Structure 1
Amino acid sequence: MLTIGVEEEYVLIDPATGVPVARAADVQAAAGRQRALTAGEVQRELSQAQIEVATPVCHTLDEVGGHLLRLRHCLAQAARGCGCRLAATGSVPFTDRLGVPVTPSPRYLRLRRAAPALVDEQLINGMHVHVGVPDRPTGVRVMNGLRPWLPVLTALAANSPLWHGRDTGFASWRTVVNNRWPASGPPPEFAGAADYDRRIHALVDRGLIADTGQLYWQVRLSERYPTVEVRAMDVQLTVDEAVLLAGLVRGLCARAVTAAQRPFPEPEDSGSGAAEPSGPPEHLQPEHLQAAVWHAARHGTTGVLHAPLTGRPAPARQVAAALLARVDEALAATGDRDRAAFLLERLHRDGNGAVRQRRALRRGGRAALIALIVDETA
């Protein structure tokens, strides 16, 4: 059974207006006084209105769900004590003209100097799933295996339809905002671990990114942990949705790890560059995958999606069913098959975060939307 861990990013909002408030330091300090939290579980994020949590290493989805509930409840209580609310939304629906200052850490301040407008607009929140892998060569095989499914994960997880007080027309506006950075979106295919390491360090050595922490691909190898880190998903309104996505991601990784047991020789490092991988099917070419992610961000689960197994458009529910079937064996092995099927059907029935946000705004205006986000977050 592969280990799993989840990171979630949240925004702190004013309970009446829904605009972000720069109180992350106060909320982190208040949360730190609660016995239910341990050191390192709550961290600061890029802006002073954002805060992040990280679960411990987990072995079951029950553990993942339990830790996320605990962390959300603690932060929600701390936020209320500081006069704001915790919001698990992929984008900030409402803003004011004042903006939100950056967290004053050397890294974040350097980032703002390098790309001020991008940083000022980076009020987006993701969910990152770490899945343990035996080694870096296996991790690269897993990355390659996940690439075709990144649009499907993007669509299911879409929870950021609103931006600056208006509907963007996209289900995941966070995906669009995040993909403006130099190394973002779906990653390229790699020939192996040596190829991966050579190419990411070339980006740094040539001054194209400051460090490997600026690899904002939708899936990458963690430089801190022996994990593959999947970053395609918006933060989810509810813990149940986060658990579903974590289970699907782990299932995809488990299938790819099994496939990685087959021989896959690392290319010789002759100093002249790694050998090119054998060409993927046409629908896995980078330009096709990039376009499929864009369409997934645009339509979410309400339209058609790129079907990884055929390369053709198909209804979102049909493509999601193909994903569930693909990870069926892995879910059965961990005892999560029935839970995943139930949660996925509920997502289709009730709508993902983007659908529910739009529905709340349409039915009850700003107050109803704020209430939905705050209530479902905690």
Structure 2
Amino acid sequence: MVTVGVEEEYLLLDADTGVPVARAEQVRRAADLQPEIDRSEVQRELLQAQLEIATPVCETLDEVGAHLERLRGALAAAAAEHGCRLAACGAAPFADRLSVPVSDTPRYRTLRATAPRLTDEQLITGMHVHVGVPDRDAGVAVLNGLRRWLPLIVGLSANSPLWNGVDTGFADWRTVVFSRWPVTGVPPLFDGADDYDKRIRTLVDTGLIGDTGQLYWQARLSERYPTVETRAMDVQLRVDEAVMLAGLVRAVVTTLRTDPDRAAAPPAPHPEELAAAVWYAARHGCTERLYDPFTGTLDSPPTVVDRVLDALGPALRDAGDTATVESGLSRFLTEGNGAVRQRRALRRDGRTGLVDLITDVTAGTRSGEPDGEPAP
């Protein structure tokens, strides 16, 4: 079985106002006291209003879901002890000020000194999916094929339409904010693992970036684990949405390894095409057209999803993930992704209703919107 693991980043919002609050250390210490959490599963993030969790290595999507529910529930309880709420939204919807102190580590202090304004505006949170690969050469081959899938993944996972109290007009504002760092977006093509390692070493050795952790491509090789790490996704409101995306990414990686022509037939798309497709996906999410990884064109979401499920069918069946991924994608098409549902909650229930929706769904005390209102 091809293994999978998920990292999720969360915001901490004030319980009354919904603005980010710098209470990560207090919440982390409170979570460490809970028996259902191993302290290694919760890490600091760049800003003191953020926390990150990492699941153990999993073989099934049921395992992924169980770990995410456990970790979200425990962190939400710890946050409540300190007057704040855990929020799985890709960008802070409201902020009295954009500046939140960085976490007190040498690396994060250096980042703040290097790029103060960019660091201050990193009130954004993502989801990373790690899929096991046998070696770095296999991982680079997967990266090269995965490039054409990234616009689709961005569009499906969009969950950050609001920023500092304003509707940005984008479904995924996190991608726009994040794109201002030096090494971001769709990774380039690489000629094997040696080429990959030489090029990232050059970036570090010349001082252009501080370390390999600043390789902010939407997919990269992990430097700690034998995995390909897909980083293109906003953190998801619901656990089942995160699980579905983890299954989708695993199926893409598996198909690229076992039947690459099925998932990424040549020729490779040009860099400018993929960059524009990612921008389009961040702008529109999955409410307009989606970028088709097979044809390189924009098409209706149902058409693209049908083609994707057909191509990934063998990998999904072998992993036992077909029902989970199919039902999750169907729900996105009928009810909308996180961006659609955030906008709908704000329009219907105002600021308080939106914050309640985000934080209640994150904590698992509410499964979603009661009326199942369809996507526009």
Report the TM-score, using the length of structure 2 for normalisation.
0.94
Alpha-carbon distance in structure 2 between the residues aligned to 1:335 and 1:305: 26
Alpha-carbon distance in structure 2 between the residues aligned to 1:260 and 1:141: 9
The 1:98/1:332 distance shift into structure 2, 3 A limit, reads: closer
Gapped regions of structure 1 (runs ≥ 5): 262-278
Alpha-carbon distance in structure 2 between the residues aligned to 1:218 and 1:37: 29
User: Is 1:305 aligned to 2:290, yes or no?
Assistant: yes
Alpha-carbon distance in structure 2 between the residues aligned to 1:257 and 1:51: 33
Conserved? CA contact 2:31–2:37, under 8 Å:
yes
Conserved? CA contact 2:98–2:120, under 8 Å:
no
Gapped regions of structure 2 (runs ≥ 5): 364-376
User: Is 1:317 aligned to 2:321, yes or no?
Assistant: no
Aligned match of 1:250: 250
Aligned match of 2:131: 131
Conserved? CA contact 1:152–1:319, under 8 Å:
no
Deviations 1:131-181 (A, max 9, x none): 110000000011111110100000110000000100000000000111111
Aligned match of 2:317: 332
Alpha-carbon distance in structure 1 between the residues aligned to 2:286 and 2:306: 12
Deviations 1:294-341 (A, max 9, x none): 000000001112212112111123223322222111110011112211
User: Is 1:122 aligned to 2:122, yes or no?
Assistant: yes
Conserved? CA contact 2:98–2:121, under 8 Å:
no
Aligned match of 2:267: 281
> What letter is aligned with 1:295?
Y
Return structure 1 stretches of 4+ with deviation > 6 angstroms.
none
Equivalent in 277, 289, 305 of residue 292 of structure 1: 277
After TM superposition, give the deviation of residue 249 of structure 1 in Å: 0.3
Aligned match of 2:111: 111
The 1:280/1:197 distance shift into structure 2, 3 A limit, reads: farther
User: Is 1:341 aligned to 2:330, yes or no?
Assistant: no
Aligned match of 1:264: none
Deviations 1:29-68 (A, max 9, x none): 0010000011310011000000010000000000000000
Q: What's the secondary structure of 2:131's corresponding residue?
A: strand
After TM superposition, give the deviation of residue 78 of structure 1 in Å: 0.5
The 1:313/1:98 distance shift into structure 2, 3 A limit, reads: closer
Aligned match of 2:184: 184
Conserved? CA contact 1:135–1:226, under 8 Å:
yes
The 1:21/1:317 distance shift into structure 2, 3 A limit, reads: same
Aligned match of 2:88: 88
Moved more, 168-177 or 97-106: 97-106
Deviations 1:255-299 (A, max 9, x none): 1111479xxxxxxxxxxxxxxxxx9636x1111001100000000
Conserved? CA contact 1:9–1:125, under 8 Å:
yes
Conserved? CA contact 1:26–1:82, under 8 Å:
yes
Conserved? CA contact 2:184–2:215, under 8 Å:
yes
Q: What's the secondary structure of 1:340's corresponding residue?
A: helix
RMSD, aligned α-carbons: 1.4
Report the number of matched residues.
Answer: 360
> What letter is aligned with 2:305?
A
Aligned match of 2:214: 214
User: Is 1:57 aligned to 2:43, yes or no?
Assistant: no
> What letter is aligned with 2:249?
V
After TM superposition, give the deviation of residue 205 of structure 1 in Å: 1.8
The 1:319/1:75 distance shift into structure 2, 3 A limit, reads: same
Moved more, 84-93 or 12-21: 12-21
Report the TM-score, using the length of structure 1 for normalisation.
0.93
Q: What's the secondary structure of 2:39's corresponding residue?
A: coil
Aligned match of 2:374: none
Deviations 1:95-145 (A, max 9, x none): 013731111100000001110000000010000000110000000011111
Aligned match of 1:46: 46
